[in-house]
Structure 1
Amino acid sequence: MSEPMSLLGEAEKLDAADRLAAVRERFVLDDVTYLDGNSLGALPAHVPARVEDVVRRQWGELRIRSWEESGWWTAPERIGDRIAPLVGAAAGQVVVGDSTSVNVFKALVAAVRMAQEDGGTGGTGGTSGAGPVRDEILVDATTFPTDGYIAESAARMTGCALRPVTPAEVPGALGDRTAAVLLNHVDYRTGRLHDLPALTAAVHAAGAYVVWDLCHSAGALPVGLDEHGVDLAVGCTYKYLNGGPGSPAYLYVRRDLQPRFDSPLPGWNSHAEPFGMRPAYAPASGAVRGRVGTPDILSLLALEAALDVWDEEGVSVAAVRAKSLALTDFFLRCVGAYVPDGRVESVTPAAHAERGSQVALRCDDAGEVMKRLIERGVVGDYRAPDVLRFGFTPLYVGFADVERAARVLARTLAG
C-alpha cells in the first residue's frame, strides 16, 4: 500500500475513534478544510437563532427592560464565569468586555501600580517594603505587535523603562526594579507554548507581577491560572472560543488582588454605584472593577451562545488538548511523508510540552503558497515574512482534514 493510502486509511480510523467527532455537527462548515481557527473560529450552528432572539425580542420588544429582564447588565460577569473554567479559574475572577488590547493596557498599568505601591514585595503579596523603585516593564520581544505597542504606552504612562526580552531570557532579566512582565502563553507565529508555571514563579520570586496573554491558548489547552498563581491575564474569544468576529475579550484578576486592582480606565460600569452618577469615582468590588463602559450586548450574547458547545457531553479542556496534540502530530507526519525534503521547515516545537494548537511551516514563498492553498480549499494563513500557519480547533477539525491539508500542500508546492 502506498504511503498516501496508508495515511488516509489511518485518518479514517482515527476519526472513527474520535470521541469529539460528533461535536463537528454543531458548527457551520462546508467542504473547505478550515485550519484558521487560530484567527477566527467557525460559527456554532445555533448562534444565529440566539442572536435573532436578542435582536428581535430582547431589543425589538423588551427594549430597555432587557438590561434587567434579559440579564444584559450582568452579562460581562456571567459570561466571564463561563470562560473561567476554560482557563483554570474559579468563578468571580473573569469579566468579559472591551478588546484584548484595551484589557492588556488595563492589566499592565494596574500591575505596575501595584508593584510600585508594594515598595519591593510585588506579586508575592507581602506588605510594603523599602526596596528600589520598580520602574521597569519586561515585554515578550516576540509578542503580537499590539501587545508591544500597548506595553510601550503603559511604560510612558507609568514612568517605566521598557525592556523587550524573549520568554527564555525573562528569568535572567528580572531584577529588583522590575514591576511587571507581559508574556504570551503561545507564540502567535510559531505556535510555541511557553512555560507559564515556571515563568510565573520566576516573576514572583523577583517581587514583580505577571500579565499573560492567552489569545492562542484559551479553548485549546489547559492554562491553570489559579493553580499557578497568575496575577492578571487577558485573552480574546474569537479564536478557539468561536465567539465571532470582534467578539469581546476578557480580563482575569486574581481574587486576592481585586481590592488593589487600580484600572487606568475607570468607567461608570465599574463604579460601586453605577447609577448614582456621582462625580467622584469609587470602584466596585470584585472583578467588576475591570469593566469600563456600556457592554457590547449583541457580540457578548453571541459569545455566550457559542460557549454552549463546551456543555456537550465529553467536551472538556483535557479532551480538546489530547486531540489537539494528536492532530498536530499527525499533520507533521503527513507533511513529512508528502512534502519534498527541504521545501518547508517546521518552526513549531516537536515536544508536546512546548506546542500550542497550531503548526507553523517556514516556506520561502509562503504568501503565494497560502493563496494557492486557499484556492484549492485548504484555508490557513500567512505571517510575514515566510510562515504558513495552520490552526487546529479540535472541536471541528478531524484527522481526514489534516491528511487532506498536507496532501494539497504537497501538490501545491509541486506546482
Structure 2
Amino acid sequence: MPTLSQQLLAKEAKYGASNYKPLDVMLCRGEGVWVWDLDGKRYLDCLSAYSAVNQGHCHPRILAALTEQASRLTLTSRAFHNDQLGLFYEELCTLTRSTRALPMNSGAEAVETALKVARKWAYQVKGVPADQAEIIVCDGNFHGRTLSVVSFSTDEPSRHGFGPFTSGFRIIPYGDADALEAAITRNTAAFLVEPIQGEAGVIIPPAGYLARARALCTEHDVLLILDEIQTGLGRTGALLAEEHEGIEADLTLIGKALSGGFYPVSAVLSHDAAMGVLKPGEHGSTFGGNPLACAVSRMALKVLVEEGMIENSARMGRRLQDGLAAIQTGVVREVRGRGLMIAIELDPAAGGARRFCEHLRDQGILCKETHTNTLRVTPPLVIDTDTVDWALDRFSRVLSAA
C-alpha cells in the first residue's frame, strides 16, 4: 500500500504540469523557521520560499490580521475604494521613504508594471521618439517568467521555445559600471537591475557599483529601477539592499515577503515624476490593492520592524556566513552573501549541488540548488543563535563527508 506521500506525489505526476523538479519531501505544516513533513519529521527551512517567508512560517500576528480581514471584506476590485488601501499606502511609503506606490500581486507583475511606467515616462517626460525606448538590463538577471521578461533573460532554458520575443532591451555585464555608461543612449528609458542577483547564485556586485549606476542614471536622465523582490524587506540585513550604498532608486520593486508568505502581494514604489504618467484605465489589476492583501501586508511590515527582524538578519547572517566559511572541506569554492542571503559555491567536481540538498534534507535542512553548483542558504529572518549553530553542525557534516 503506497504511503500518503507517495499517493500525493502520484497525483501531482498524473495531473500537474512538469515545470518543476522539487526536492523529494512532502510538507504539511510550518512554524517560524521550521517545517514538517507528513511523517512528522522536522526540517529547518533554508529557502524561505525564495524569501517570501522572511517573517517565518505562519507568523501569528499576520495570521490574525488575515483571518480578521477575511471575515469582513476580501475583494472590491479597484472600481471602489476600500478602508485598507490608504493605510497601506501611507505605512508602506513612510517606511520606504517613497512618494507613491502601486500595488500588484506577483513579483513578475511588479516588473511588468515598472517596464510600462519606464516606457511611458520616456515618451511623455524625457521625449524619446515613439516606440524607440530602450531599457538596459544585466546578464544573469532573473526578473520573472512573463514573455517580456524572458525576452531579456540570458538563461537559455527560460527562453527556449517561447519566441518571438519582446524588443527594446539591451543586455550588459552585471557589476560593470563602464558597460552601463557605454550602453546609455538618448533613447534609454531605464536601467533595471537586482542589487544582488538571487537566482544567479547570490552574486554581489563590486562595492560602489550601485552608487555609480545611480550617478550615471541621474546624469543621463535615465530611471534607475531596482528589483528588490528577493533582496528587499530585511533579507540582506537592511530594509532595502539599496541602503548598503546609500542610494535611492527611481522605481523600487518589492514583493514576496511583503505579505509574510500568506498571500501574493507586490508593489512598485516610486516618485511623482515617474508614477505620475499613469492615468485611469492605462494599467491595473483586479486583485491589486484588495483589502485582504493590504491588511496582511500592513501587518507583515509591522512585525518585520517591531520585532527587530532586519537587525537579526544582519547579526545571524554574519554568524551563519562566518560559520560556513570556516568549514574545512575541499568541495567549497566560496561562501558569499549579505545578511541572510547566502550562497555556497561548490567545486564542479563535487557532482553538483542537488545531491548536497538531498544529504542536507536527510540531516533536517531544506536548501535549493541553483545553476548546478550553488547552494542557496536563506532561512527566515527569525532564526536564532542556537538554530544557526545547529544548522552549521549539519552543514559541516554534509560538506565534510563529501
Partner of 2:133: 135
Of the structure 1 ranges 364-373 and 138-147, higher mean CA displacement relative to structure 2 is found in 138-147
- Aligned-pair CA distance for 1:294: 4.0
Partner of 2:6: none
- Aligned-pair CA distance for 1:362: 1.7
Partner of 1:144: 142
Aligned match of 1:219 in 223, 233, 237? Answer: 233
Aligned partners of 2:131, 2:221: CA distance in 1, in Å? 12
Alignment of 1:407 with 2:399, yes or no, is no
Partner of 1:277: none
Q: In the superposition, relative to structure 1, how do residues 75 and 378 fare at CA in structure 2: closer, same or farther (>3 Å)?
A: same
Aligned partners of 1:193, 1:85: CA distance in 2, in Å? 28
Alignment of 1:236 with 2:255, yes or no, is yes
Partner of 1:275: none
Q: In the superposition, relative to structure 1, how do residues 143 and 154 fare at CA in structure 2: closer, same or farther (>3 Å)?
A: closer
Partner of 1:165: 173
Partner of 2:120: 113
Letter in 2 for 1:367: R
Aligned partners of 1:132, 1:366: CA distance in 2, in Å? 47
What secondary structure is seen at the aligned counterpart in 1 of 2:144?
A: helix
Question: Is residue 328–residue 392 contact of structure 1 (8 Å, CA) maintained in 2?
Answer: no
Partner of 2:201: 190
Aligned partners of 1:84, 1:186: CA distance in 2, in Å? 23
Higher helix proportion: 1
Q: In the superposition, relative to structure 1, how do residues 140 and 146 fare at CA in structure 2: closer, same or farther (>3 Å)?
A: same
- Aligned-pair CA distance for 1:359: 1.2
Partner of 1:346: 334
1:383-394 alignment, distance < 5 Å: 383-394=370-381
Partner of 1:378: 365
Alignment of 1:40 with 2:52, yes or no, is yes
- Aligned-pair CA distance for 1:405: 1.7
Question: Is residue 147–residue 165 contact of structure 2 (8 Å, CA) maintained in 1?
Answer: no
Question: Is residue 317–residue 340 contact of structure 2 (8 Å, CA) maintained in 1?
Answer: yes
Question: Is residue 189–residue 222 contact of structure 2 (8 Å, CA) maintained in 1?
Answer: yes
Aligned match of 1:309 in 303, 308, 321? Answer: 303
Aligned match of 1:55 in 65, 70, 76? Answer: 70
Alignment of 1:369 with 2:369, yes or no, is no
Higher strand proportion: 2
Of the structure 1 ranges 368-377 and 43-52, higher mean CA displacement relative to structure 2 is found in 43-52
Aligned match of 1:89 in 93, 97, 111? Answer: 97
Aligned partners of 1:397, 1:242: CA distance in 2, in Å? 18
User: What's the TM-score once normalised by structure 1's chain length?
Assistant: 0.68
Question: Is residue 104–residue 147 contact of structure 1 (8 Å, CA) maintained in 2?
Answer: no
Question: Is residue 191–residue 358 contact of structure 1 (8 Å, CA) maintained in 2?
Answer: yes
Aligned match of 1:79 in 80, 88, 96? Answer: 88
Aligned partners of 2:298, 2:104: CA distance in 1, in Å? 12
Q: In the superposition, relative to structure 1, how do residues 163 and 81 fare at CA in structure 2: closer, same or farther (>3 Å)?
A: same
Letter in 2 for 1:163: I
Can you give the 5+ residue segments of structure 2 that lack an aligned partner in the other structure? 1-30, 36-41, 154-163
What secondary structure is seen at the aligned counterpart in 2 of 1:326?
A: helix
- Aligned-pair CA distance for 1:113: 2.4
What secondary structure is seen at the aligned counterpart in 1 of 2:123?
A: helix
Alignment of 1:260 with 2:268, yes or no, is no
Structure 1 or 2, whichever has the larger Rg, is 1
Aligned partners of 1:211, 1:357: CA distance in 2, in Å? 23
Can you give the 5+ residue segments of structure 1 that lack an aligned partner in the other structure? 1-25, 123-127, 263-270, 272-280, 284-289, 350-354
Q: In the superposition, relative to structure 1, how do residues 374 and 303 fare at CA in structure 2: closer, same or farther (>3 Å)?
A: farther
Question: Is residue 180–residue 211 contact of structure 1 (8 Å, CA) maintained in 2?
Answer: yes
Question: Is residue 335–residue 344 contact of structure 2 (8 Å, CA) maintained in 1?
Answer: yes
Q: In the superposition, relative to structure 1, how do residues 214 and 147 fare at CA in structure 2: closer, same or farther (>3 Å)?
A: farther
- Aligned-pair CA distance for 1:134: 5.1
What secondary structure is seen at the aligned counterpart in 1 of 2:326?
A: helix
- Equivalenced residues, count: 333
Aligned partners of 2:353, 2:336: CA distance in 1, in Å? 16
Percent sequence identity is 16
Deviation string for 1:22-48 (max 9, x for gaps)? xxxx94757643322343312212333
Question: Is residue 191–residue 356 contact of structure 1 (8 Å, CA) maintained in 2?
Answer: no
